[in-house]
Structure 1
């Protein structure tokens, strides 16, 4: 992993990736009432090259972000054309942006594992019998009908801004 200290000109130390992963693993959220609330944002690329950013119910499982969407959503169409995307989230004392490629997952074991993670979090997802994705009794209306495609973000880099003393701004290339 390459570590680039983007805050060196301000005298900030480089951050370590392992504590960020520990916060993601622990589902560490900003304190209640914090200005960086617990919303996960997905950015994809529209066909004209502009950015499309939307809130998404992503999960951090096995050291990667996972998310789902319908075939006919804008993000689904964007990812079918160009898998490059990024996910942004705030954890306690830091903001994290992970950039990479969305890889559609259809392996039964992966769909079972991530469905269970969503179900354990309160959304009763399960693998769709067709084997193409997941299903649940409900989802955001904008997702369209099930089955919904499941994606894992294969990271290329991450940028972390720490608000904890002494602060820091670091890019990690994987």
Structure 2
């Protein structure tokens, strides 16, 4: 891992990736009233066909060292990822803001899809694995996710930048 301290100018030490990862492992609820300032919203940026950014709020989670989200294959983000998997995901937590860059990969492994369904269900979204075993269904999802079935995607970080929002502050980029 290559670490770049973006706060050298202020004599603030580099942040520690393990501290950030521990914060992610603790979870970041996305229901209103459960995060800072009022909730934690994840923003996914994918690339449109013309190379322009497409940014949309999503209900992501962190598990197994990666970010996970779900969407329909025919949604704009689903089509963008199928064409070009490069993307970025950002989230503001109580103690740090984070942007992770990587490539989104559709996951169809039945055990992994079931594990993510259980994670989302534990967080309050009543999803379950559909009849195919490789996608999700539920009584509802975000309108931007399209209609079921919803595919599960993993973003494994290639690089990340964090800004610590509590004292002593700091900003660091990591390349994995």
Q: 2:60 aligns with which of 49, 58, 61?
A: 58
In structure 2, distance between residues paired with 1:100 and 1:68: 16
- Given the alignment of the two structures, is residue 109 of structure 1 paired with residue 108 of structure 2, yes or no? no
In structure 2, distance between residues paired with 1:40 and 1:32: 14
In structure 1, distance between residues paired with 2:36 and 2:85: 32
State the Cα distance separating 1:34 from its structure 2 match: 4.4
Q: Secondary structure at the match of 1:156?
A: strand
In structure 2, distance between residues paired with 1:33 and 1:145: 28
Residue 136 of structure 1: aligned partner? 138
Deviations 1:129-163 (A, max 9, x none): 12341111111233222111110001100000012
Q: 2:93 aligns with which of 91, 94, 97?
A: 91
| Segment drifting more, 5-14 vs 107-116 | 5-14
- State the TM-score, normalizing by the size of structure 1: 0.93
Deviations 1:62-113 (A, max 9, x none): 2211000111111011000000011101122210111000010000000000
Number of residue pairs the alignment of both structures matches? 174
Is the CA contact 1:132–1:147 (under 8 Å) kept in the aligned structure 2? no
CA-based RMSD: 1.9
State the Cα distance separating 1:10 from its structure 2 match: 2.5
Structure 1: gaps spanning 5 or more residues: none
Q: Secondary structure at the match of 1:77?
A: helix
Greater than 4 Å deviation, 4+ residue runs: 31-37
Alpha carbons of 1:125 and 1:28: their partners in 2 closer, same or farther (altered >3 Å)?
Answer: closer
State the Cα distance separating 1:36 from its structure 2 match: 7.6
Alpha carbons of 1:57 and 1:82: their partners in 2 closer, same or farther (altered >3 Å)?
Answer: same
Structure 2: gaps spanning 5 or more residues: none
